[in-house]
Every structure is written in structure tokens, then in C-alpha cells.
Amino acid sequence: PRPILLTRHGESRFNVRGRIGGDGLLSDAGELYAKKLANFVEKRLKSEKAASIWTSTLQRTILTASPIVGFPKIQWRALDEINAGVCDGMTYEEIKKNMPEEYEARKKDKLRYRYPRGESYLDVIQRLEPVIIELERQRAPVVVISHQAVLRALYAYFADRPLKEIPHIEVPLHTIIEIQMGVTGVQEKRYKLMD
């Protein structure tokens, strides 16, 4: 069995300020995670010549991958974070205050709620289909460096979690989720590299 390693990007400067979306750089803690991740990946996949690193097209995942050497890197637009549309760059507090109807609608049905000029979780799940097909087809290990909403959907697919749970699954920062697909089913390990 070959592993799939799932991780969020290192903490971004937007994360620190509680802002969603954007295309920001990493915080100091995020940069440290990128180094620790590179160390982990280089050890864990040392003899895996055909392994590859997949990121989104956003800076924070590309920068998180950048200290990793020796493996090809592929950028997927389909791995980009859920598009928050008009709410991109806002904090949840600001959305609640300035767009209370939007805030309530999302709270009621987070799976189906679509940000104005943005996406819903269902949209994200749909655009991930080609990524999942390619992941299933790979024989070598893959490291996927992406974003919380996207990883919720990918994780749910492999861990066989129901659709309605997807928007609420916890995918912590600075933690690697290793998925192994064997004949007896899916096994999961977690490596928390830092707080």
C-alpha cells in the first residue's frame, strides 16, 4: 500500500488575523512548519522515487512546499481554497456584522450555502473529482498540500464520511494526515509536527 499525505499549508498571515481566503504569505510559525514538513517528507518518502507533491495555485501552499527537495511538484487549481466570493478577505465577525443574512444562511446549511460570487462546499466537492481520480490512479505516494475546506472534502472521501459532515470535519494546522489504502480498507495516522 502507498500512502497519501494530506496537510494544510503552514499558518498564513491571514490565518493569524482571522481573515478568510486571500493569497497571503506564511507567518513565522507557518514557515517553520514548512521546514518541519520538508524534513518529515524527505525521511518518510526517502526510497520512493516516483512520489510527488501536489499543491494549490495559492502562495501559501506553494511556499509550504518550497523547502521540500527531490520530488516533482504539481499545482492544481482544483486544490485552491473554497472561493468566498464577496466575503474573501473578511473575518467571520465582519461577515456577521455587515452581511447578517449571509452569515445566518451559511450557519443553517453550510454544505449547500454558496458565497455570493463564490462557491459552496458542494461546488468544491464537485471540482475535486479529477483530483480524486488522479489520486486513485497513482501508484506512488502523493503529498497533498491544500486548504481546510478542500481537505475536509478529500479526507471525507478516503475516510468514507457522510456528505453532511464534510463542512464540520476538523483538519488542524501543522498536522499531517497519512492515509494508507490496503486490501483491508483505509488506515489513518496523524503526525502533529508543531502546535
Which residues are at the interface with ligand G3H (CB under 6 A)? 20-21, 81-82, 147-149, 167
d(CA 103, CA 67): 38
Shorter beta-carbon distance to ligand G3H: residue 141 or 167: 167
Active site residue 60: yes
Residue type, 125: I
Tell me, yes or no, if 81 is annotated catalytic.
yes
48 annotated binding-site participant: no
Active site includes 15? yes
User: How many residues in the chain?
Assistant: 195
27 marked as binding residue: no
Q: How far is the CB of 173 from ligand G3H (least distance, A)?
A: 10
Tell me whether residue 4 or residue 119 sits nearer to ligand G3H (CB atom).
Answer: 119
Binding site annotation covers 77?
A: no
Query: 144: closest CA among 51, 3, 2, 6?
Result: 6
**Closest CB to ligand G3H belongs to which residue?**
148
Q: Is 168 a catalytic residue?
A: no
Residue 182's SS3 state is: strand
Residue of 19, 106, 127, 147 marked active site: 147
Strand, helix or coil at 51? Answer: coil
HEC states along 17-43?
CCECCCCCCECHHHHHHHHHHHHHHHH
Q: Is 14 annotated as a binding residue?
A: yes
Distance between CA atoms of residues 78 and 91, nearest Å? 24
Residues with catalytic roles: 8-9, 15, 60, 81, 147
Residues in binding site? 8-15, 60
Residues in binding site for substrate? 8-15, 60
